[in-house]
Every structure is written in C-alpha cells, then in structure tokens.
Amino acid sequence: MATTQIPVSEERSEVESVLHSEVFSRAPALSHLLSYLCEKALAGEGPQIKEYSIAVDVFGRGESFDQESSSIVRVQANRLRKHLANYYTTEGAAHKVRISIPVGQYAPVFEAAAGAAASVPPVVEDKSPGNRRWMVVAGAVAVVIVAAAILITLRLRHTAGGTADQAIEAPAPPLIGLPAGDEVRILAGATRDYLDRAGKTWLADRDFAGGMAVNNPVQHVWRTLEPEIYRHSRQGDFTYDIPLKAGVYELHLLFAEMEYGPEDHLGGGEGSRLMVVKINGKTALAGFDVVSDAGGSRTADVKVFTDVGPASDGKLHVAVSSVHGGRGMLSAIEIVPGMKGRIRPVRLVTRDSAYYSNDSHWWSPDNYFLGGQVATRVDSMRNTDDPELYESERWGHFSYAIPVTAGRYTAIFHFVERRFGSGNRESQIGPPHEDTGSYGNRVFAVICNGAVILRELDLQKEAGANQPVTKKITGLEPNGQGKLVFEFAPVKDYATVSAIEVLPE
C-alpha cells in the first residue's frame, strides 16, 4: 500500500512561512498559539495537547483554570482556524504543504495541498525482514533529528539578542482581563445563582448577617445589560464576611436605587437614602447617595476599590449602615484579582457577549451606556487582523459612565465608518441618507466629563469606509462621582463607536 509522507523539514519550513506571513505577523497571540501547537505535534506530542495545557502554557492561566467557565482556548483556536483558512486563500495559496486544525481537536495536521505532491516519492511498504530493520533504524534517526531540531529551537528562544525567528516565537503578552485567581460574585438578596452575558456566575446571597432581602420587579435599569443583577438587594444595617485567600483584589460594589425617584409613589430622589459603607472596618463611602452618584434612580451604579484583601481572620468584611432616611442597601458584590495600586484595564465592546480579541485581551459585553442603539454589520474590513472587534457599533447620541478610582487614565476609542462611503450606500443603520462625497457625511464629538476631547471627528476623512480608526487620549481624570463620562455628541448625522478601552496610567 502506498502512502505519501511529508518530510519533517518541509513541515517545519511551512510553519516558519506561516509565522512570518503578513496575516500572522499582525496577530502575535495566534502566532504564539500556532507555534506552540506545531512544536508539540512535531515532537510527537499531538495526542497530549489539551485545552488545559494550552490555557496554562500559552495564555498564562494558573493551575486553577476552569475550562467550563472560560472559553478563551476554544475561541482562540477557532480564530486560528479562520486565520489559517485566510492564509491559504491569499499568501499561502500556492504552497504544497498546508497546516490545519481540525474542528474538535487542537493537534495540527500537515497535509499536501490538493493537486500537489511532496518533494519525496511515495514510500512503498516492503515487508521483507531486511527492509523492516532498515525502516526501524531510519525512524530512530528521524526521531533524533527532530528532537535535536526542537531542542535548538527552544534554546534559540531563550538566547539573548533578537532575531527574526526569535521575534516570531516570543511569548505573547500576558493576558489582561480575566487573570487567574479567586473571583467572588454575590447577588445581595437573591435566592438563586445567575449566569450573566459574559458567562460569569453570580452566587445567590450568602456570607451576610443582618438586613433584609428586597426584590423589585422593575424591568428596565439604565446603564446595564444585566437588570437582573439590580432587581435584588439587601437593605438595612448589615455586613458581609466573605472568606478570601490572601492576595490583592479589586472590589466592585453594585447599587441601583429602585424605590425612590420622581415617578415613584414614594416620591423623593436625592437625599432619600444615605448610607455609610466600610471595608474591613475603614470607611469607604460616607453619606453615600446612590441617586446622586448614579445621576438618577433605576440606574446601575458601580463603585470600584483597589488594594483590597482579607482581614487577619481570612475574610473580607463589607458593612453597610443607614445614616438618614430610608435604609442602607446593596445590590451585588464582585471581587476579582487586582493590580496593586491601580484598577484593572476596562475594555468594552458594543455587543451583548464577551469577546477575546486577537491580542488575547478580554472585552466585556457592552456596559455603562445610556442612549443610542446597537447595530451589527459583517461587511469586509480593511487594514485590521481583528475584524470581529468592529462588527458592532453603538450609534446615536449616547454616553458611557465608566467607574474608576482616583488617578489618571488613557482612553482608546475604536471606530469604523459603516454608514457612508463606498460599499455602504445600502446601509440600514438610521434613516435613508445621501452620500454627499468622500467625507463630511458624519461628524461628531467626544466629550469627557464636560470637556471636548475629540472635536469634529469625521471617520471618512480619517480613513475612508470600512477601515478602523483608533483615537488615544491620555491624562483623563474621573469626576466627583469617580467616573469617566464619555458623551458621543452628533454634529451631523449620528455619533458612533465600536469599542472602548480605559487603561490606568
């Protein structure tokens, strides 16, 4: 029986060609993943490639990685398949050897392209004793050669000084967004667990003493895609004593005033409910008024605290007490691994599900917004290796109120013109329009805490249609409520944005 074998040298050469290609040079995280998978396969360890090992070795997850609650490996493997398919229809179309990652597995497969033959003739099986001995010897030599090649490659990775190969094989930047570590999410006053749009589980109320559970059937809560989180609360004077391993954490306290407001039969608004919140015995919020802080009732409000950890008894203590009128209240508690002295980066994408971008960053589903509408388009994008990041947009006249701590921040806005320009004339976003030329069809401003930071932004003029436009603004500081409020104000037609990043400086 005749079978076609591809020499290891050709397989390795194809790996190098793919990694050095334009398609993969713009996707370092996927290059790192492909390199890892191919090295394992060439070393004969293909069957040992598992989702857990990829998460730990490639994406820097800890030993506590749970593949049931994190889909990063599956998402990135699917993205890798798409990049390989794109590569072999463009730069690699004429290649005789092709690499693929079959669906349902992570071990790469090297195959001769259809209509192409490997550079060595087919091997015809000969069952004579002499030939069997020769094949065993040859196989052993091949294994030694492959092992030596892999050893050399691994040593080159750690050799000081840069080379083109070393740059391609360098580890990807550390993952930011959902780092390994204990995460605790508690829905105050709730009797059932809740799975949110990002795939995170919020536990039913626990670890509390005092107060009373209150449910509110109101349907809409402003500035969130997760009203269920805010329909429950614990009210009165109460404490939470949450067991926590030693470490540095970031604490999010979630509130929404669901009782007091101008349209409610109880009347009132600001000043109707004041409270004090203490963390491990120290006052964190004094005379706190949710309506005033959020800018209205039935509005999600999040307060962020850094450098939080358990007290000497191994528990994090959060105490809420009433000060004047009403009862103290709390909707939810979120505790995540923190970064000493600063908040974790905030990344939002205008869609209702979480997203892993090609640079291995985790993007939260749309949050903190008020106004506008979301539209999704799958038109072809140019000059980006991550078109999925730009498939959706929030458009109209809208704002985002992103909670932060005191300090200075850099904001990065990701835009794309999907409404005007060549290829976009049939857009169904907004009312019918007439393209008046190469630019000037859509003009808008971005305002942060009352100050204009982007004036008369025209995406067509900046880059044309269906091409990403990124704007980076540094030195931003939060307002008195601890928020960066970004208003997207139309000048002509509607404002738009696809994704937002807020990074501590």
| C-alpha Rg value of the chain to the nearest Å | 28
Residue 373, token pair as written in the block: 């509408």
In this predicted structure, what is the pLDDT of residue 265? 59
pLDDT higher at 102 or 454: 454
In this predicted structure, what is the pLDDT of residue 243? 97
Fill in the amino acid letter for 28: P
Neighbour tally for 283: CB within 10 Å: 11
**CA-CA distance, 250 to 502, in Å (whole number)?**
16
pLDDT value at 53 more than 60? yes
Average pLDDT over the chain, rounded to an integer: 84
For the purposes of burial, counting CB atoms within 10 Å of the CB of 405, is it exposed (0-12), middle (13-18) or buried (19 or more)?
Answer: middle
Closest CA relative to residue 363, chosen from 406, 404, 414? 414
In this predicted structure, what is the pLDDT of residue 61? 81
In this predicted structure, what is the pLDDT of residue 437? 59
In this predicted structure, what is the pLDDT of residue 177? 38
Fill in the amino acid letter for 479: N
Which range has the worst mean pLDDT, 34-38, 55-59, 199-203? 55-59
SS3 content of the chain, % helix, strand, coil (to 5): 20, 35, 45
Confidence of residue 4 (pLDDT cuts 50, 70, 90): low
Fill in the amino acid letter for 93: A
Identify the structural domains of the chain with CATH numbers, from first to last: 2-169 (no CATH), 184-337 (2.60.120.430), 346-504 (2.60.120.430)
Confidence of residue 342 (pLDDT cuts 50, 70, 90): very high
Instruction: For the full predicted model, state whether its pTM sits above 0.75.
Output: no
- Angstrom CA distances, 8 to 5, 25, 152, stand at 9, 23, 15
**CA-CA distance, 450 to 462, in Å (whole number)?**
24
Fill in the amino acid letter for 342: R
pLDDT value at 221 more than 70? yes
In this predicted structure, what is the pLDDT of residue 324? 77
Residue 234, token pair as written in the block: 């614990």
In this predicted structure, what is the pLDDT of residue 78? 84
pLDDT higher at 115 or 490: 490
Mean pLDDT score, 250-261: 94
Q: What is the pLDDT of residues 357-379, one digit of tens each?
A: 877 788 999 999 999 999 988 77
pLDDT higher at 434 or 143: 434
Three-class SS state of 389: helix
Q: What is the pLDDT of residues 397-407, one digit of tens each?
A: 999 999 999 99
Residue 381, token pair as written in the block: 């994008």
- CA 26, 32, 35, 38 dihedral sign is negative
Confidence of residue 145 (pLDDT cuts 50, 70, 90): very low
